[in-house]
């Protein structure tokens, strides 16, 4: 195969070739970045939370009648007892914020009580003694809270400096990278001594950096239903719907002067799916963009190659007459397309990095990994060879007699 002859033939149609090269380059640049964005979205959606999501149910109760703090707390204890009596429920707790929910509670945390000490924002979970077991948290160092360490919500706000804290492994590594965190002091609500470290617990909302997503604190606080959400851990995940129905019935029976709605009861997996629905939609949109670009590029290759085959029928017939086989003609158009695709891919790789730099500058996006470029190149090379196959086969089928008929 003489590449010089192929390049000479392409030079005679430089305008059409340039347009096809630009089309391939644009497709390569967009597809590489789109695949990276899709991968980033999927990775974000699949990040573990550190809790037993498959067995968790959450129920929110809204108060519609005023009551004293004592009566509300008494109702909360009644609710907890009724929910623990629901069949297939192993743990029941109440928490100030739920994963993938609308509320977000956080505080600035530092290693010094100085007024201008550097601090970071860390989400804070309040919960009773059953909360770690309900969530399925894994303790990697230290201990859980002792019974006499639990306070009320009002006491936490007023005298939080005496309350111990359990933090995540990620937060411990941030503050104490080469030391044991248990026994150390952090400053969130006054002075809080670390008594335990859990493997993972994340923010209610998936925002910020990947590292900060796992910065969380757990405080021993007995909340009332007016200040939190009930969490139920079920033994069998297939019984979650039945547990929700039974829990709603129990709450309506035990507290008629409250709003108990099925809309406020869901599984944690369903809450995750709802939270990430926009991310899934974006991923599917990018998939559609990739498919559309590949389809347009394939149509362009087919159309241009078919046009060249129609123009070169006499030359093809002459080559067949002087001994070229069908395989020779087929390989000619395949090599021709491979060269065009290569030029376009080379330019597309430069454009891909340029687009990625713009996205990095204006959005919170990482650098495009190098392995996405060969993936995009391979896809476009395969697409080009498949797209050119039909016109190339028609060219290979041109009989030698065409050369004499065209004279």
| Domain positions in the chain | 3-45+278-405, 53-275
CA distances, 128 to each of 61, 95, 153 (Å) = 17, 8, 11
Q: For 35-39, 115-119, 146-150, which range has the lowest pLDDT when averaged over its residues? A: 115-119
- Kindly report the pTM of this predicted structure: 0.79
| Average pLDDT of the residues in 250-272 | 86
Between 170 and 379, the more confident residue is 170
pLDDT digits (tens, 9 = 90+) for 136-190: 999 999 999 999 999 887 777 765 567 899 999 999 999 999 889 999 999 888 8
Long-range pairs of 283-291 with CB within 8 A, sequence gap ≥ 24: 283/37, 283/38, 283/41, 283/42, 286/34, 286/37, 286/38, 286/41, 287/34, 287/38, 289/30, 289/34, 290/30, 290/31, 290/34, 290/35
Range of weakest confidence among 225-234, 261-270, 273-282, 376-385: 376-385
Mean pLDDT of the chain: 85
Of 31-45, 206-220, 309-323, the range with the lowest mean pLDDT is 309-323
**DSSP codes of every residue in 315-344:** HHHHHHHTT--HHHHHHHHHHHHHHHHHHH
pLDDT at 6: 67
Could you give the CA distance from residue 265 to residue 67 in angstroms, rounded to a whole number? 24
Question: pLDDT over 70 for what percent of the chain?
Answer: 92
Give 249 or 389, the one with higher predicted confidence: 249
pLDDT, residue 354, reads 86
Q: Which two tokens stand for residue 113?
A: 């009580």
Give SS3 for 51: coil
**CA pair distance 375, 293, nearest whole angstrom:** 15
Query: What would you measure as the largest C-alpha separation in the chain, in angstroms?
Result: 105
Q: Considering only CA atoms, which of 300, 296, 298, 277 is closest in space to residue 288?
A: 296
DSSP string covering 278-290:
HHHHHHHHHHHHH
pLDDT tens figures, 60-116: 988 776 667 778 888 888 889 999 999 999 999 999 999 988 778 888 899 888 878
407 pLDDT exceeds 50?
no
- Identify the H or E element spanning 3: helix 3-11
Q: What is the pLDDT of residue 352?
A: 85
| Helical (H) or strand (E) element with 127 | strand 120-127
The conformational region for residue 88 under phi > 0 = left, psi -120 to 50 = alpha, else beta, is: left
């Amino acid at each position: 195969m003489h590449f010089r002859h192929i390049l000479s033939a392409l030079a005679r149609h430089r305008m059409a070739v340039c347009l096809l090269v630009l089309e391939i380059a644009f497709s390569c640049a967009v597809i590489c970045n789109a695949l990276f964005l899709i991968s980033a979205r999927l990775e974000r959606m699949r990040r573990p939370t550190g809790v037993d999501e498959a067995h968790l149910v959450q129920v929110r109760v809204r108060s519609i009648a005023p009551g004293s703090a004592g009566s509300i707390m008494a109702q909360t204890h009644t609710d907890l007892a009724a929910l623990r009596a629901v069949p297939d429920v192993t743990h029941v707790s109440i928490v100030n914020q739920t994963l993938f929910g609308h509320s977000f509670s956080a505080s600035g945390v530092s290693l010094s009580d100085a007024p201008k000490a550097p601090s970071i924002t860390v989400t804070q979970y309040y919960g009773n003694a059953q909360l770690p077991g309900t969530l399925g948290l894994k303790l990697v160092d230290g201990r859980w809270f002792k019974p006499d360490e639990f306070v009320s919500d009002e006491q936490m706000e007023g005298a939080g400096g005496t309350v111990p804290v359990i933090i995540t492994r990620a937060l411990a590594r941030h503050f104490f990278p080469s030391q044991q965190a248990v026994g150390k002091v952090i400053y969130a609500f006054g002075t809080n001594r670390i008594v335990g470290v859990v493997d993972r617990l994340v923010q209610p909302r998936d925002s910020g950096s990947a590292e900060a997503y796992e910065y969380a604190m757990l405080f021993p606080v007995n909340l009332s239903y007016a200040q939190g959400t009930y969490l139920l851990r079920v033994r069998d995940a297939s019984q979650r719907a039945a547990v929700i129905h039974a829990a709603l019935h129990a709450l309506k029976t035990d507290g008629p002067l409250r709003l108990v709605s099925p809309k406020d009861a869901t599984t944690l997996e369903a809450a995750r799916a709802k939270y990430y629905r926009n991310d899934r939609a974006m991923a599917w949109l990018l998939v559609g963009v990739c498919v559309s670009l590949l389809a347009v590029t394939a149509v362009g290759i087919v159309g241009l190659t078919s046009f060249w085959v129609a123009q070169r029928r006499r030359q093809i017939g002459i080559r067949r007459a002087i001994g070229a086989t069908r395989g020779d003609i087929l390989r000619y158009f395949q090599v021709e397309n491979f060269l065009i695709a290569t030029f376009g891919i080379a330019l597309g790789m430069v454009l891909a990095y340029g687009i990625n730099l713009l996205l990095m500058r204006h959005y919170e996006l990482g650098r495009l990994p190098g392995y996405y470029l060969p993936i995009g190149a391979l896809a476009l090379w395969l697409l080009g060879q498949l797209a050119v196959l039909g016109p190339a086969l028609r060219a290979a089928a041109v009989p030698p007699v065409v050369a004499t008929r065209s004279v």
